[in-house]
Amino acid sequence: MIFIQLILAHLLGDFILQPNAWVSDKENKKMKSKYLYLHVLIHTVLSFISLWNLELWWIAVLVGVSHLIIDAAKLYFQNIKTKKRWFFIDQFLHIAVIAGVSFYFDEFNFDFLKDHNFLKIIVAIVFLSSPSSIIIKTLLSSWTPAPETQTNIQTESLSSAGKYIGILERLMVFTFIMVNHWEGVGFMVAAKSVFRFSDLAQAKQRKLTEYVLIGTLLSFGIAVLTGILIK
């Protein structure tokens, strides 16, 4: 399958065979960096080798040229604040080119989009992300956790970490249910209990502990109910 072959070449070229020194040189010198062109050459050669078909040489060239254009755009448009965003944009565009080639050879069709089960799963995944976070936040809005009073407990937290942890745990619980591995849900509960509630116990803040516990149970409960409804 052309898609899998080109994805393998992409992973090898972008992550395995590209040292950090090359990345730094490209970011500093941009189009003047010799490593940019060496990187593109490696991608072209890897794509050709992965396809192993002389008649498909043009695909390897297409992948190489598109890789140069996308990487060059990334180097000129990204800055310190948008570097992470451009990393994902860059990867998305590379994969989009590969997918386009695969689509040209009729390797992909979109009949699965008409499958009601597929659509239900997509709806469930979307619901378990931000909508569920907003629902939980609204349900907990009548309670306010106790203010931080302990000076010997580290209370700093990553920005929006709780939101993303909640989304990830709901998606994982949903996945476990969909593949009929309910024991994974128990593992998730146990793991979060160890890492989260042990810190809360040390802080000796009963209201905060109850607040987090209610939020956690709501999050897990919503994921479980969604999984059951989809099943």
H, E, C per residue of the chain: CHHHHHHHHHHHHHHHCCCHHHHHHHHHHHHHCHHHHHHHHHHHHHHHHHHCCHHHHHHHHHHHHHHHHHHHHHHHHCCCCCHHHHHHHHHHHHHHHHHHHHHHCCCCCCHHHHCHHHHHHHHHHHHCCHHHHHHHHHHCCCCCCCCCCCCCCCCCCCCCHHHHHHHHHHHHHHHHHHCCCCHHHHHHHHHHHHHHHHHHHHHCCHHHHHHHHHHHHHHHHHHHHHHHHHC
pLDDT of residue 3: 93
Return contacts of 106-113, CB within 8 angstroms, 24+ apart. Answer: 107/1, 107/2, 107/3, 108/3
pLDDT of residue 205: 66
Give the side-chain half-sphere CA count within 13 A for 16.
Answer: 10
Kindly report, residue by residue over 92-103, the tens digit of the pLDDT.
999 999 999 999
AA identity, residue 184: G
In angstroms, the CA 96 to CA 21 distance is 27
Report the interhelical angle of 183-192 vs 161-178 (nearest 10°). 160
Kindly report, residue by residue over 197-208, the tens digit of the pLDDT.
666 555 556 677
pTM for the predicted model, two decimal places = 0.76
For residues 108 and 59, which has the higher predicted lDDT (pLDDT)? 59
Residue 150 has pLDDT above 50, yes or no: no
pLDDT of residue 202: 57
Average pLDDT for 33-57: 96
Residue 191 has phi, psi (to 5 degrees) of: -65, -45
Contact 39, 71 (CB under 8 A): yes
pLDDT more than 90, % of the chain: 65
AA identity, residue 11: L
pLDDT of residue 153: 46
In angstroms, the CA 28 to CA 23 distance is 9
pLDDT of residue 160: 77
Give the side-chain half-sphere CA count within 13 A for 109.
Answer: 5
